[in-house]
Amino acid sequence: MGGPHPPLPPTIEGQTYCLRWNNHKSNLVEILDALIKVESYVDCTIVVDDQVQFKAHRVVLAANSPYFQAILQDVPMDHCSIIFPGVKEFEMRALLDYMYTGEVNVTQSQIPTIMRIAEELEVKGLFDMADLKEKFNKLSEEHADRASHGYPYTAASTSALTAPYAMAASSSSAQGLPSGVHNGKEHHGADLPIPSLHNSSSVISTSSNISPSAAASSTSSPPYTNYKSPYSNLYSKSPGPAGNGSGVGQTKSANAPQTPTHSQSQPSNQEHGQWPLSPSAAVSMLGSVYDSVPDNPLKRKKISSMTSMLMNRDTPILRNVLAQANPADSSQPMSFSLPGASKSDKSNADKNSPHTGPMGAHNNSQGQHFNGADYGNDKKYHDEPHSPYTDRSFDDDAYDAKGNFGSGFSSNANQKPEWKRYKQYTRSDIMSAIQCVREGMSALQASRKFGVPSRTLYDKVKKLGITTGRPMNRTMKRSPSNVDSSAAFSYPHGYGAEPLMSSLHEGRNDDREPKDHHRADHHHIPPQLPHSLLDHALLQQALESRGGDIAGRGALLLAAAAHAAANRISTSPGPNGSSVMRSPSPPNYGRKYGRGSEQDYAMEPERGRDRERERERGRDRDVDCSRVNERRILEQELEHEREMATESDREQDYERELRDERECDRKRLRNFEREHERERGRERKRVHRRHSHDDEETTGHVEDLSVTRRQFTSPEPVAVAQRRVRSPSYSPPPPATQATIPQPTAVECSSGVIKLATAAAVAVTATNALNPGDNSRCSSRSSNGLTMADNNSNEEFINESGAALDAATAMTAIKREIISTDDGRND
Amino acid sequence: MMSSDQQFFLKWNDFQTNMVTSFRHLRDEKSFTDVTLACEGQTCKAHKMVLSACSPYFKALLEENPSKHPIIILKDVSYIHLQAILEFMYAGEVNVSQEQLPAFLKTADRLKVKGLAETPSSIKREG
């Protein structure tokens, strides 16, 4: 249901209530029709040929015809007779019926003459429709011989006669008036009706600061809306029913307990008093308010969702409110609704009292649901408890937002974006998507293609027992805690996914961005934080939406791996933004997800990245604690990379090729760097006699590791066993003794990027493994080797584009961290 | 010898001029207008008496509908022609462009304006 509603400060003014009788218009029409039938209150007589007289109300005539209005305005008499020579009885009868009821049944043969009379009299909706008249004329000519009452065009004519008056109104205003005899007449043309914009939104609440005439116009009752010149003065002098209504609304507002839903932090306050603006105006206002906030995806998403909501306000909200209150009869008069209530959906939520929110607002929000395309789809939100931490969609939002807001935002929001409540796809979409999956397309592609939320599609596909080529389906039921989160995880691709995607996209080229994401995924978030925040599927989804930019993926992977390595080791702030991530560290929380879904990391690179990210949640562990786990982590990394090496995905292959190419370049650069490094090392030798063993040996060692790493064939048995054993829950770190340098076996490693990361990781592992025995040596080796790698990465950074940016940064971080750590330890 | 009950013939030579002027004046001021003629979405006011005097059509129409201030909506009548006809009724003369003349005469004929429409009787008489 709608978000919780913040308490309204009692001092807020401008709270108005819309008193609206939904049957008003129909009542008026019915009464007029009844009156003319008994000829009550008639004040004019229309005389046509053969002395046939019709009684009528001048007000109705004037309402339906600017022509009559102009005539009758100047003839203020008790009872006037309108003599209409040359007009047949049936013609005038039809026109009067039309004017009183809005529709009339005529035969096809009568249409041309009736239309002519209507044109003469400027009957709204009928006159000045040249094309229509032509059509009828043509029809009458063509079918004059076989004109019959049963002819289909009879029906057509009827519908034509009920054409909206707006056409007539606009055309009459275009017509204008030549200078007439009467002075008062000139401005009629100018004031002739332009279809009111208010009519587009039939549910505009009357508020006290709207003039009665404007309020009357907002109710979109046809005639008087448009005739400003004769009546507006009258209205403003003596408030009509609408004015009275708003007055009552004011009174009620003082007493009404269901008070309103304002949040001071939201800009919606500003237009509260003027809510009866057209929705688009409100949207633009909100949009401008949000635009003032620096660009961020959540805001964008909110705006879009608000926009969608406001645009949907076309449908009478109040009617829905009434439907809620009195399901039996939606036409009962007098119900109060809060004009600003629906805004509470998007205004900030008060998680303290979600259920005590005003009933009106509650209903309003539900009214939105009723107006939504698929009510059933919304049910889960209705049923959802309103605990702040079970609000899945919020979690979703929070994930998206945290990159920019940090944890500060999470205290702010329990609202749910409105776009999530709407199914943005049709049944045919999902069916087509399922069909595509059945035919072998991956579920994700299908979901993208048809704009169906992938989770939904997975669900459906799963239910149908279709096996997709990708292992993604398994993410669905991987862990119990994911199940409920799946409810909230639907990305209507058209809508809210856009900001997310764009933000992620930006992140690809921005080396800071991945870190922000990492921050969002940080495992130091409080344990009670919703699971879906850590959900792999969510992360995966987010990553999948980035599209298949391989370079970006590679860079991200490398960055993630590097970060993982660096952050587990580091104690001191790194220079390149890694310090941002540093924070006091509660025990690892995110890890359990990383472990739990380990076997689901089938070889998808995205998933690999996911895991890297998950792992990064554990990055801020203290060195002393993390040391124990480092080997295990590194093992897993290696193992993971081994898995990746056996990945047979074509995409991966392509990636691999690319990376291999890059690796060649990198090798060259590395050799070059190595030369430099040797020279530097010789200098260093003089300074640091301790580390003077041999630089050649160090570099050679790293090189060996790197090379041998490439030759792994099968996962190390120990590591495999560990992995299999692991369960979704947190498993204690393996004993330190188990962690050894992975034994090189024989396999072709996948990519150069990975190799780089691997080199670093192996070096670190080597450091760790050898540290107890030979501190100085290890320190020297690792630092040197990693320096090398770093330099390589820097070269890559220069040569390649933003793809390697992450890698470079990460490597730098690794290097510095390792150096500092090792130095700190050794010294 | 003239008889004592000799009557004098008093004639205001400017009577017709005055009447024409006065009617025009009254019409211009819309004084005592008691009928509204409407066509093409525009109206002009006139006096029933003048209309009845100048047109058997209006005379019959107004006799049939004894109303204090009837509104006569004329179908298929050009407002310009209506103005010209009224001018002709009130002044006895009007200027009409040549291209408008046939339509004007047709309209006048429809409205049976004396002096413009050829009544069957007059035709018969002339014939």
- Distance from the B108 Cα atom to the nearest Cα atom in chain A, whole angstroms: 15
Tell me, what's the pLDDT at B56? Answer: 92
Say if CB A262 and CB A340 are below 8 A apart. yes
A47–chain B Cβ distance below 8 A for any pair:
yes
Please judge whether A75 and B42 are an interchain contact, meaning their C-beta atoms are less than 8 angstroms apart.
no
Q: And the tokens for B35?
A: 């009928």
Tell me, what's the pLDDT at A553? Answer: 53
A732 pLDDT more than 50: no
Tell me, what's the pLDDT at A412? Answer: 42
Please judge whether A74 and B43 are an interchain contact, meaning their C-beta atoms are less than 8 angstroms apart.
yes
Tell me, what's the pLDDT at B71? Answer: 86
Domain ranges of chain A: 23-142, 427-464, 619-692
User: Can you tell me whether residue A354 is helix, strand or coil?
Assistant: coil
Which of B39, B42, B45 is the mutation pick for testing A, counting most A CBs within 10 A?
B42
Say if CB A2 and CB A345 are below 8 A apart. yes
Tally of CA atoms within 13 A in the half-sphere of A673 that contains its CB? 21
- CA A533, distance to chain mean position in Å, is 17
User: Can you tell me whether residue A508 is helix, strand or coil?
Assistant: helix
Tell me the pLDDT tens digit for each residue of A577-634.
Answer: 343 444 444 444 434 444 434 444 444 444 555 555 555 554 444 444 555 555 666 6
Helices (H) and strands (E) in chain A, counts: 37, 3
- Distance from the B77 Cα atom to the nearest Cα atom in chain A, whole angstroms: 10
> How far is A826 from A772, CA to CA, in rounded Å?
10
Mean pLDDT of chain A: 52
ipTM > 0.85 for the complex? no
**CATH class of the domain at B15-122:** alpha beta
Tell me, what's the pLDDT at A74? Answer: 72
Mean pLDDT (whole number) for A216-237: 38
Which residue in the set A67, A74, A83 is minimally distant from B72, CB to CB?
A83
Tell me the pLDDT tens digit for each residue of A515-528.
Answer: 444 444 444 444 44
Which residue in the set A78, A83, A178 is minimally distant from B61, CB to CB?
A83
Chain B CB contacts of A83 below 8 Å: 61, 65, 67, 70-73
Pairing mode, strands A80-83 and B71-73: parallel
Tell me, what's the pLDDT at A561? Answer: 56
Residues with Cβ < 8 Å from A79, sequence gap 6 or more?
A43, A44, A45, B67, B68
Tell me the pLDDT tens digit for each residue of A481-528.
Answer: 444 444 444 444 434 334 444 444 444 444 443 444 444 444 444 444
Using 70 as the pLDDT threshold, list the residues of chain B that sit under it: 1-3, 119-127
Say if CB A215 and CB A251 are below 8 A apart. no
Domain ranges of chain B: 15-122
Tell me, what's the pLDDT at A583? Answer: 41
Tell me, what's the pLDDT at B97? Answer: 92
User: Can you tell me whether residue A564 is helix, strand or coil?
Assistant: helix
> How far is A165 from B23, CA to CA, in rounded Å?
42
**CATH class of the domain at A23-142:** alpha beta
- Render A424-471 in DSSP notation, one character per residue: -S-HHHHHHHHHHHHTT--HHHHHHHHT--HHHHHHHHHHHTPPPSSG
Q: And the tokens for B60?
A: 């019959």
Tell me, what's the pLDDT at A36? Answer: 87
In degrees rounded to 5, what are phi and psi of residue A416?
-120, 135
Sign of the dihedral defined by the CA atoms of residues A361, A367, A372, A375, in that order? positive
Tell me, what's the pLDDT at B99? Answer: 92
Which residue in the set B71, B75, B79 is minimally distant from A71, CB to CB?
B71
Number of neighbouring beta carbons within 10 Å of residue A660? 18
Say if CB A98 and CB A123 are below 8 A apart. yes
Please judge whether B67 and A80 are an interchain contact, meaning their C-beta atoms are less than 8 angstroms apart.
yes
Beta bridge partners of B45: B36
Mean pLDDT (whole number) for A280-307: 44
Tally C-beta pairs within 8 A across A and B: 83
Split at pLDDT 50, 70, 90, the class of A642 is: low
In degrees rounded to 5, what are phi and psi of residue A258?
-75, 80
Residues with Cβ < 8 Å from A354, sequence gap 6 or more?
A3, A4, A5, A386, A414
Pairing mode, strands B42-46 and B35-39: antiparallel
Of A240-244, A544-548, A677-681, A791-795, which one has max mean pLDDT? A677-681
Split at pLDDT 50, 70, 90, the class of A554 is: low
Tell me the pLDDT tens digit for each residue of A58-87.
Answer: 888 888 888 888 888 776 667 788 888 888
Of A96-100, A377-381, A638-642, A729-733, which one has max mean pLDDT? A96-100
Burial degree of A424 (CB within 10 A; 0-12, 13-18, 19+) = buried
> How far is B48 from B35, CA to CA, in rounded Å?
6
Q: Answer whether CATH 3.40.50 is correct for domain A427-464.
A: no
Residues with Cβ < 8 Å from A357, sequence gap 6 or more?
A2, A4, A5, A261, A344, A350
Say if CB A263 and CB A347 are below 8 A apart. yes
A21 pLDDT more than 60: yes
Beta bridge partners of A47: A53, A83
- Distance from the A111 Cα atom to the nearest Cα atom in chain B, whole angstroms: 17
Q: Which residues of B touch A (CB under 8 A)?
A: 36, 38, 40-45, 61, 64-65, 67-76, 79
> How far is A671 from A129, CA to CA, in rounded Å?
84
Tell me the pLDDT tens digit for each residue of A25-47.
Answer: 888 888 888 888 888 888 888 88
- Distance from the B1 Cα atom to the nearest Cα atom in chain A, whole angstroms: 58
Chain A CB contacts of B45 below 8 Å: 74, 181
The residue that leads in pLDDT, A174 or A621, is: A621
Mean pLDDT (whole number) for A108-120: 85
